[in-house]
């Protein structure tokens, strides 16, 4: 069993068994637990679920849309057959001042890469999407809003802080995406990928996802080992990466489990 399946399923079971049940802004009640944490050594294993299929290419395309293209234009995702932002698309075809827009506004990726290359012991290295003046003009407050970066003994470490984590749909996507981001930034700055710690402030399972989560929990004994991540070794400029440069090798998984997204 992959370490990600183990940690993810353990927390899923705790949410169902111990979670606080209440309403929220979507109108679909959740079981929720605060302050859930998963940690992985990316030199040992790439975190992606095997107890259900995770749409890896879709996750990578969204990641590049946010941090490489630094775009808010949903139509650019739709051109790549990615529709995860369709429900939040505004009249102008964008998500307003959210995610990629605020990354570009403050040149955040450029600043981080410069810090990693010139002052890797800086304790102020982060990407912060929670920019208060621009929250209400975006389509959705960012869920994964903060990454904090550290270099220790030649290894690039990252802590991802997520204010709200949809355990059934969002969290598996987000863990995998940001693990990819660590690998990409490590390659272009000359480090090895190190620790990746995923902190979720509000980890929740929607009431209409419980059946799907229970199905996945029942697959624990069928889990596979984790796949390997391949990144094109010739790319040294972060802005040159495409989804063709990022692949999984040996990704074995069980069938997709359909769950509803809460808007």
CB 24 within 8 A of CB 207: no
CB 138 within 8 A of CB 97: yes
Annotated catalytic residue: which of 143, 144, 169, 259? 143
Q: What are the distances in angstroms from CA 92 to CA 65, 84, 125?
A: 17, 17, 33
Q: State the Cα torsion 181-160-18-172 to the nearest 10°.
A: -10
CB 254 within 8 A of CB 219: yes
Q: In the annotation, is 144 catalytic?
A: no
Partners of 110 in the beta sheet?
none
CB 103 within 8 A of CB 109: yes
d(CA 54, CA 169): 9
Among 195, 98, 201, smallest CA distance to 149 is for 195
d(CA 71, CA 104): 8
Per DSSP, the three-state class of 251 is coil
Per DSSP, the three-state class of 183 is helix
Active site residues: 143
């Amino acid at each position: 069993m992959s370490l990600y399946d183990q940690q993810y399923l353990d927390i899923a079971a705790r949410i169902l068994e111990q979670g606080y049940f209440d309403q929220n802004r979507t109108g679909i009640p959740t079981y929720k637990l605060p302050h859930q944490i998963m940690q992985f050594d990316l030199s040992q294993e790439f975190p992606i679920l095997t107890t259900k299929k995770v749409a890896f290419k879709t996750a990578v395309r969204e990641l590049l849309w946010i941090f490489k293209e630094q775009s808010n234009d949903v139509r650019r995702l739709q051109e790549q057959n990615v529709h995860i932002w369709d429900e939040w698309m505004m009249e102008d075809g964008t998500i307003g001042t959210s995610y990629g827009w605020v990354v570009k506004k403050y040149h955040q990726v450029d600043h981080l890469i410069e810090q990693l290359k010139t002052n890797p012991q800086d304790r102020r290295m982060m990407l912060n999407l929670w920019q208060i003046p621009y929250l209400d003009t975006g389509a959705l407050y960012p869920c994964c809003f903060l990454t904090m970066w550290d270099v220790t003994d030649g290894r690039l470490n990252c802590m991802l802080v997520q204010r709200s984590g949809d355990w059934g749909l969002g969290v598996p996507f987000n863990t995998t995406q940001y693990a990819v981001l660590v690998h990409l930034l490590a390659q272009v700055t000359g480090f090895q990928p190190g620790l990746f710690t995923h902190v979720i402030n509000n980890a929740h399972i929607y009431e209409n996802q419980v059946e799907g989560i229970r199905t996945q929990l029942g697959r624990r004994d069928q889990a596979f080992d984790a796949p390997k991540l391949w990144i094109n070794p010739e790319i040294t400029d972060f802005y040159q990466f495409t989804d063709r440069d990022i692949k999984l090798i040996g990704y074995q998984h069980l069938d997709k489990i359909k769950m509803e997204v809460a808007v």
